[in-house]
Amino acid sequence: MDLEILGISVLWTFLFGYLIIASIDFGAGFFNAYSLLNRKHHTLTNVIQRYLSPVWEVTNVFLVFFFVGVVGFFPKISIYYGTILLVPISFALLLLGIRGSYYAFETYGARGHKGYAFMYGLSGLLLPASFSIVFTISEGGFVSVIEGRPILDYWELFTSPLTWSIVLLSIMALLYISAVFLTWYANKAKDEHATDLMRKYALIWAFPLIIAATGVIVGLRTYNLIHYERLINLWWMFALSFILFLVTVYMLWKRKNYGQAVGLLISQFALAFYAYGISHYPYLLYPYLTLYDSFTNTAMAISLIVVFILGFCLLVPSLYLLFKLFLFNKKYITGALQKRR
C-alpha cells in the first residue's frame, strides 16, 4: 500500500470517528434545546445531561488529530484550503467557543439556563453546516487559481444546490445518529418516556436522511461527473448501507435490540463514508490538488503514521474506560450517583 493511501486512510478513520461522536454530541444539544422549547425537558434533560457531562471534553480530540494530520501529511493543502476556508472555519471556531462556554456555565454557573441551552443547540446545527462546506468546495467548480493564488467564488458556492443539499444531509445525519444513540442510551437508563420520545425523533428523521443523501448524489452529476460515475461504480457499498438502514429502522419500529441498532447505524454510515472517500480518490480538490502532488516526504510520512497509530491505540482504550466507568455504569446511567450526592 502506498504511503499516500495509508496516510489518507488513517485521517479518514479519525474523521469518521469525529463524525459519529460529534453527531451524537451536536444532536443531543439540539434535542435538549428543543425539549425546553416544547416543554418536554422533564423527559429528556436528565438523560442528555448524563451523556454530555463526561463526553464533551473528548469530542474534539478526533478533530484535532485530523487537522494536525492533514497538514502534516499534505502540507500543500494549506496553500489551497488555508485561504479559501478562512471564513467558514473562523465561523466554526466561534461556534466551538460558544459550545465550550455552555459547558463552563452549566458546570460553574446557573444550571438549566434556557438562553445558554438554545445557543448550544443552535450551534450544534450550524457546526456541521459550516464543516460540510469543505466537501462542496472539494468537488471543484468553486475555486479559481489566479497568479498562483486560489480564489473562492462565494456567490457560486452559496447559490449552488449542491452546497445546500450537502448542508441538509449533514444536519439530517447528525439528528438521526444522535436520536438512535440516545434511544439506546435512554433505554439503558430504564427511562421509558425518554426512550419513546427519542425513538419517535429517530423515526421522524430517518427517511428525510435518505432523501437528502439521494439529493447529494443527483447534485454530483451536474457539478462533478467524474466523481458521480465513480460513486455509481461503488453502488454495492451504498446498497449494503441502505439495507443496514432499513434493518435499523425496523428495529426501532419494533422497539427491540436498540444496542444492535446503534451498531448497524455505525456500520451503515461507515460504508457510505468510506465509499465517498474511495470515489473521491485521488483528489483533495478537483482538479488542482491530489494526494500525490501534495504529499510530504517519506521520513515525515512514516513518523506521522506511527504517531497516529499509537495515538489511536491510546485513544480507543481511553474511550472504552470512559464509556465503561461513566456512560454505561449502571449507577451513573440511572442517576443513582447523583441521587446519592
pLDDT higher than 90, residue 243: yes
pLDDT band at 57; cut points 50, 70, 90? low
Q: For residue 231, is pLDDT > 70?
A: yes
109-123, 144-158, 231-245, 281-295 — which is least confidently predicted?
109-123
Question: Are the C-beta atoms of 122 and 98 separated by less than 8 Å?
Answer: no
Q: Which residues make Cβ contacts (< 8 Å) with residue 145, sequence separation at least 6?
A: 151, 288
| Rounded alpha-carbon distances, angstroms, from residue 337 to 194, 326, 340 | 19, 10, 5
Q: Which residues fall within 8 angstroms of residue 196, CB to CB, at 6 or more apart? A: none
With DSSP H G I counted as helix, E B as strand and the rest as coil, what are the percentages for the chain, rounded to 5? Answer: 80, 5, 15
At residue 289, φ and ψ (nearest 5 deg) are -135, 130
Q: Mean per-residue pLDDT for 88-98?
A: 80
Q: How far apart are CA 171 and CA 15, in angstroms?
A: 17
Q: What is the reported pLDDT for 339?
A: 46
Cell of 282: 485521488
pLDDT tens column, 258-306: 989 999 999 999 999 999 999 998 888 888 888 888 788 888 888 888 8
How large is the C-alpha radius of gyration of the chain?
21
Q: Residue 109 and residue 104: Cα distance in Å, rounded?
A: 7
Helix (H, G, I), strand (E, B) or coil at 25: helix
Average pLDDT on 304-310 reads: 84
Q: Are 163 and 207 in contact (CB under 8 A)?
A: no
Query: For residue 151, what are the β-bridge partners?
Result: 144
Query: CA-CA distance, 183 to 194, in Å (whole number)?
Result: 7
Q: Is pLDDT above 90 for 239?
A: yes
Judged on CB neighbours under 10 Å (0-12, 13-18, 19+), 271 is buried
* Torsion angles phi and psi, residue 288, rounded to 5: -85, -30
Q: Tally the domains of the chain.
A: 1
For residue 253, what are the domain limits?
A: 3-340
DSSP letters along 59-103, please? Answer: TTHHHHHHHHHHHHH-TTHHHHHHHHTHHHHHHHHHHHHHHHHHH
Q: What is the pLDDT of residue 180?
A: 94
Q: Reply yes or no on whether the pLDDT at 107 is more than 60.
A: no
pLDDT value at position 337? 46
Its pTM stands at 0.89
**What DSSP character marks residue 76?**
T
Evaluate if residue 335 carries a pLDDT over 60.
no
Locate the DSSP E strands across the chain.
Answer: 143-146, 149-152, 283-285, 289-290
